Chain A
Amino acid sequence: MIASNHQYIDLQSLKENTFDDASIMQEIMTLFIELIDEYVIILNTELPNKNWEGLFKATHKIKPNISMFGISQLEPTILQLENNFRKEEHLDTINNLIEYTLTVFKDVKKEIITELKSMNNEHKENRFS
């Protein structure tokens, strides 16, 4: 059972698109945690280097996950970052956007880990019931 009381993620669409298949959902959620970790590393390492192209590519890559996981609160920020990196404009405002993104992703990770644990427990209960 997918919890619907998270602050950031909404897994309803993922659930529908995977036909509620717990195994594939868990695999996708685990991969997303890895993608978040990769993205956070790139933000932290490439921002001081002002590697705008690298930052644009990384933001572009993670963008589909925002809608996949229903993280609607982060959507405008990610779009703004992607645009700013691509056009190399308004770069004086990106620190706040990045700080917000990092904060949200930290909580998103927690929510996904909670969900994965709950799915694992449910799987164990089903096996022994």
Chain B
Amino acid sequence: MNIKKIVLAEDNTTLSLLLKFRLEKEGYELFMAVDGKEALELIEKESPDLILTDIMMPFVSGLEVISHVRLKLDVDTPIIVFSSAGQEEMVLKAFNLGANDFMGKPFSPNELIIRVKRLLS
């Protein structure tokens, strides 16, 4: 069976641990990054099937991650961005750069799993 790989870029360690736990229960393989720089390294190394990224992260933002994936790597790996209230403009930018979906924090892990399954089906 082909296990789908997911890169999760999120600087809040409790949230990322919870999401890792839930997504691994669904049978996905998770690669964790605490900032955009680490995320880009993992994306290039692991060629994931899906990318989950927060918009606001240290060093390299989620928007820069999307831009790098779409323009530099030129791949169409599905991307879901995490945003917060007040970041509506950045969500629009994320969609313009090529993000596929977004989740507004705080969100339910159940809802994220539904969206992940939809994009990976």
Residues of A at the B interface (CB closer than 8 Å) are 14, 17-19, 21, 24, 27-28, 31-32, 34-35, 57, 60-68, 79, 82-83, 86
Cβ contacts under 8 Å, A32 to chain B: 14
Give complex CA distance A68, B18 in Å. 10
Q: Is B11 an interface residue (CB 8 A)?
A: yes
Give complex CA distance A63, B83 in Å. 12
Contact of B14 (CB < 8 Å), options: A21, A35, A82: A35
Contact of B17 (CB < 8 Å), options: A31, A62, A63, A86: A31
Q: Is the CB of A17 within 8 A of B109?
A: yes
Give complex CA distance A34, B14 in Å. 10
Q: Can you report 22 residue pairs joining A to B where beta carbons are below 8 Å apart? A: A17-B18, A17-B108, A17-B110, A18-B18, A18-B21, A24-B17, A24-B18, A28-B17, A28-B18, A31-B14, A31-B17, A34-B13, A35-B12, A62-B12, A63-B106, A64-B12, A64-B106, A65-B14, A67-B106, A79-B85, A82-B86, A83-B86
A23–chain B nearest beta-carbon distance, Å: 10
